[in-house]
Amino acid sequence: MVDKHMDAYKHERETRRRAYMSAPSLKDQFPAAEQLVLELTFVDPNAASQHSPQTHTFGPTARAYFEVACPFSSCTGGGFDLSAVVADLLSHGERAASGKLVCRGWQDRGLAGEHRCLLEMSYRVSASFETLVEPSSRSKPNRLGKW
Ligand SMILES: [Zn+2]
């Protein structure tokens, strides 16, 4: 049973690695975005475990890959996908969004299909954009102060 779990775990890691490697850079996908910060906190609804908060910072050359692995080492098929949240935020040029996601993976090694993980992740996504797109850069220099 342990071997089976390890296989599933390895397979998951490999799938994630490939998805990460094939993701475009943040700049390629969202040219106006300068930096993106994900702040994550986790709450176990059963209060049986504690997980450290995480902060992920993305610069222009970072890969635009926003799937977060479930911090439970015993969770199979879980994780949190922030791709849609990030895409929505950046495509609208907004600066911040927050919300909550629930892990849909399975707990208990070898007993997949019996206990959902249901770990809660609260997220806050903040973005900063290139100063070039600020409205103030559109004013004409030779007219400065002559309104
Ligand atoms: Zn999980």
pLDDT confidence of residue 74: 84
Per-residue pLDDT tens for 56-106?
999 999 999 999 999 998 888 899 999 999 999 999 999 999 999 999 998
pLDDT confidence of residue 141: 52
pTM of structure: 0.79
CA of 120 to the centre of ligand 1 (A): 9
Domain coordinates in residue numbering, the chain: 2-13+26-131
Per-residue pLDDT tens for 24-48?
999 999 999 999 999 999 999 888 8
CA of 97 to the centre of ligand 1 (A): 22
CA of 74 to the centre of ligand 1 (A): 8
Report CA torsion sign: 122, 53, 94, 31.
negative
Q: Sorting pLDDT into bands at 50, 70 and 90, what band is 138?
A: very low
pLDDT confidence of residue 13: 86
CA of 19 to the centre of ligand 1 (A): 19
Residue type, 120: E
Per-residue pLDDT tens for 73-86?
888 889 999 999 99
Residue type, 37: V
Closest CA to 108 of 48, 43, 42, 41: 48
CA of 138 to the centre of ligand 1 (A): 48
Rounded distance, CA 95 to CA 7, Å? Answer: 40
CA of 12 to the centre of ligand 1 (A): 13
Mean pLDDT of 8-28: 90
CA of 34 to the centre of ligand 1 (A): 31
